Structure 1
Amino acid sequence: MAAQQGKVLRVGVIQGGKIVEERVLPARQPVTIGTSPRNTIVVAHSELPPSFQVFSCQGERHTLHFREGMDGRIQGAQGTATDFAALVSQGHAKAQGGGYAVPLREDERGKIVLGEVTLLWQFVAPPPESPRPVLPKEAKGNHFKSMDRLFVSVLVGSFLLHSGVYVALANTDLPKEVTLEEIPERFAKVLIPEKQPAPKKVEEKKAEVVTEAKPEAKKDAAEKKPVEPPEQVAAKKAARAAAVAKAVQSKGILKVLGALGPSSGGGAVADVFGAGGGMGDVATALSGAGGVALATDPGAGGGRKGGGQGGKASIGDLATTGGGSVGYGTKADVRVSGSVQADEAEVDSAEIDQQKLASFVRARMGLIKACYENALKRNPGLKGKVAIRFTILETGGLSDITAAVNTLASPDVASCIVGTMRTWRTQFKPSGPVTVEYPFVFSPVN
């Protein structure tokens, strides 16, 4: 039953009544057939499975494999043929791996029918190995003869030149380092320039001269100014007082005060300021005021107003009712307090953890509460709901922040929350933008 050493397997493939392939396989090599390109025999356009093992090799022996129901036969040297069913019934085929295995001899041949494909096999002597082709010496040529002479000459010359330069530089001594004392004087002047003397401070001296000259200039100006006589000074004061009185009579309520009274030929200024004559200026006139009197203007349609007698009254004669004392309190800010509750957020992606997002918002709830309490100072009864819609980007930042719902009736609170959330950056890194709607409920505490 053992196959002699040196025999190889010859296989022919028949498909559609035609031989499509014939091969001599190397010794001791398993044979597979199927539609997969990794098989030993590939039959692409067929109903075969991707791979099926037909022959295996155990040592020096070949074994044929087939499955139950598969058609085929084995023919011996005497010409007797036995089909697969008879091999199974006689016990020559042994069950193995969901099929049957039959050991083969070198003088046996046979066929296997695999659907539309028929496989013929037999053992033959291996073909002699063809000698390896060797080129003759004339075809091989000479490496030196095939090279370009000009190129080789330039290459050799360049190598010699660079080698000579390298040897010359290697044998050249490096120049000795020169110290600062050994540098020639003409080079030292160029490298180290002489230090120039510092300029003198001329501006300070000029300032001192000007400062000392100022008192002398003032003294000369005072000596040159002429001294006016007392009569000229008194005349100037009288002219200035007359101009002031004329200006008073032409200005609104001052015109009323400057009107003439029926009791005297002077104006009401004389009634108000007293009977002193020859006032020098306004300050002097006001120093004589003793009370308040209502004057009339003859040119304005005459008569005293209100039927009064034109008497004088001082500030002390004016009395008020309910003369109680008024107390002043200290300034204090009204302290308000609000409550902020966050409802469950609406997230359109499973990549964002609801609990982690809620913890992130709770850690920053003080900023949102501050926006509400600032508005609560102006409106203590302010309460309602604000739902903020935003998008979490791949970087963790927030964008498209808007107030989707606002029943608080205060756009300032919603704007403050939106501005605060623009600076937030979450720890989430989603694969794409995620839209979130987060509701906040606001109510006053006191």
Structure 2
Amino acid sequence: MSTPRKSRRRALRAALIVDDKVYDEVHHHAPERVTVGTDIASRLLVFGDHRLPKRHVLFDVAEDGAYILDLPPGVRGQIKIRGRAKAIRALWKKHQSSGSKARSLRLRLDRSARGKLTLGESTLLFFFDKPAPYTPPPPFPDDLRPALRGMLSRLELASLLSALIILGPYFTYIANKEVPVDVVPEIDERFLNVMEIPKPRDEPPPEEEEEEEEDPLLAQEDDEKQKDDEEKVEQVIETKKEYSAKAMEKARGVGVLRALGTYGGDGPGTVFDVIQSTENNTAELFAAGMTRTINADSGDVSGFVPGGEGISAAGAVVGTKGFEVTDDGPELKDMEKQERKIKSKVKAGDADVLGDMDKRAVQATIRRRMGALQNCYNRALRTNPGLSGKMTYTITISVMGTVTSVNIDADTVRDPSVASCTTMKIKNWRFPAEGAEDSSEVTFTVVFSGES
């Protein structure tokens, strides 16, 4: 006698674990969809991460009955198919390198597939097992079905029916009655007092101004006064617009023109020449003794001042004494320049982008922002000249392009000041996020090298 052949059909079986305890379990009799999300209507309820979807079809069913695993962003874990283990992160990188713009990762599963998925604070274990026995849903008891007779008594039904017979025609008449257009509704004064609405006041009609008749004698006197004013001629004194050369020479040596000059002499001064001429000689004034200085501690740049000591905008130590008042003009003290001893180099490696943001735009933004990280490194080199190493950062970029979190995965520099300063700088970065529909994770490495 031949033994019956075992059925090779397999059904999905999954368990949701929270705090090392089975929170929910799914065992299908036939292929069905399984939803997961933070919504209570989902088949598997998860929580603990804001990136989790509200309701998402995690296990979909194809036309031939095979299961398809649809992974949304933010899911971590490992899948094993036909004896080969694959990490979710590696599958996402391969999916993005192919140029696909799909928002989810779809994988076709066979009977040998099994995996472990991490969704926020929940862990989902799934594999394929024998189908669960079919259990039909129990019918709803007839005695528990709601009925109008069971909810209301005879007395209540009679009261409702009598009220409908008496008040029904009245409400029908009021609803169909036409209201005249010229009827103005009256508002009770009590409502006006409660709502503090001022009562309209009757304004008195405007009084008509009476035109006064002009006295002919007064009009004749006004005409005579106007004629007398026209006959008076005032003597206008005109000044000469041309002055002699001797007067101009005396005026140049005194008064406002001399005060505007930066040195003594017969001429009007350098400032007056700049104002009077059409050329811009401001650069010559700055070269004659004006400079800008940079604070070594804060990095602030001052305005242009006549003289001073500090670090110029070019990065050199300067010492000037400003303008000297002499007959030959302004003199400038010899400038002593000294090159800065601190030399550093900061370079960023290739960035790994996990999300739907443009990888080229993200890398370009990171390389363009290396100057801020180099400033943090230069401050540490002043106290520790032999400081060097590399740091690996993992940042989260929102859909608005802002950095929401910064984590340091590896740090061989081992300097708390560099770590805190660079973390603060990176949190202020902004990335182009056009077309991004979800947050992205970016991992990049920065190499710090310098010599003093």
Q: TM-score, normalised by structure 2?
A: 0.27
Q: TM-score, normalised by structure 1?
A: 0.27
Higher helix share: 1
Larger radius of gyration, structure 1 or 2?
1
